[in-house]
Amino acid sequence: MLRTIIFFSVALCSTLSLRGQGIVEIKPAARIDTVVTDITGILGAFPEEVKFLATQMQDKTEFVIQHLTFTEGRLNGQHVVLAQTGIGKVNASLTTILLIEHFHPKAIVFTGIAGAINPTLAPGDLVIGTTLAHHDYGALTATGIQRRPTRDPATMQENPIYFPCDTSLVHLAQRAGKNLVLEKIKSPQGLRSPKIISGVIVTGDVFVSSEKATQELQKQMHAEATEMEGAAVAQVSYQQHIPFLVIRSMSDNASSTAPADIETFYQVAARNSANLVMAIMTAQGKPKK
């Protein structure tokens, strides 16, 4: 659908090309918290985490903002904007801020893969985040890392160490997952059907592939899974008062075999997480039972 869209930005006036669509004019303007739309923002770090969702969208329009591509359209009847953040907390924060500034989403959902901390989880299993926390923020002492809360730079108030995902979104995801048929995973015992649980997801700018580290994260933070973007998205969303949800599908068990496991299970794990996102979009349009 050919259209020209005027955006508001705190940046200086500039123009950005809209691939195949024309020109998007960027103008300085209002505070980002003055407008809320019906859009749900959907983010993922890796190409496979967003590629499948993009193929399922209708009425798509692409926007390039600060060299990042945002795809607006409809997914299972819901108005969404989809973007790939890249790996790590800084990239995730940047993309989230651009999403909020330009599209004013009513909620943000992050989808993708993770390493399992809970030893009962296997590749393909999903964790619906109830809270997100940075596992690498604090003070590094002789006895290890002492985790401390971040602060909101606008108020200098301490943030919670565990950022709570929006309760209604968590319940919606749990409801959507009950009857969801996920892609089966090859195991030594044959094909297995993945399970879905809810719990704590922890985030750090490190790829965890250590049995000792996973044991510590489970003991100290009660984590179910670990990844590299979720808490950053959670912190930005929390500080901007936007409901958020993080969904992760296990690609490995964050142990010494993680580099090999992620190569084997990355794509199917990414698709399972994306399928739950699609089920959530469908459930948004249905009345509660």
From first to last of the 289 residues of the chain, give the pLDDT tens digit.
333 333 333 333 333 334 344 334 344 333 344 466 799 999 999 999 999 999 999 999 999 999 999 999 999 999 999 999 999 999 999 999 999 999 999 999 999 999 999 999 999 999 999 999 999 999 999 988 999 999 999 999 999 999 999 999 999 999 999 989 999 998 888 899 999 999 999 999 999 999 999 999 999 999 999 999 999 999 999 999 999 999 999 999 999 999 999 999 999 999 999 999 999 999 987 755 5
C-alpha–C-alpha distance, residues 187 and 250, integer Å: 14
Q: Are 233 and 246 in contact (CB under 8 A)?
A: yes
Task: Name the nearest CA neighbour of 217 among 150, 147, 135.
Answer: 135
Cβ atoms of 63 and 72 closer than 8 Å: yes
- Token code pair at residue 112: 């993708």
Beta bridge partners of 134: 203
Catalytic residue set: 49, 252
Which helix (H) or strand (E) is 191 found in, with range?
Answer: strand 190-192
- CA geometry: angle 267, 270, 274, nearest 5 deg: 135
Six-digit token string for 203:
């985030």
Bridge partners for 41 per DSSP: 81, 108
Q: Exposed/middle/buried for 161, CB within 10 Å: 0-12, 13-18, 19+? A: middle
Q: Of 18, 233, 20, which Cα lies nearest the Cα of 129?
A: 233
Could you state, in order of their start, the residue ranges of all structural domains in the chain?
Answer: 34-284
Instruction: Match domain 34-284 to its CATH number in 3.40.50.1580, 3.20.20.70, 3.40.50.1100, 3.40.1260.10.
Output: 3.40.50.1580
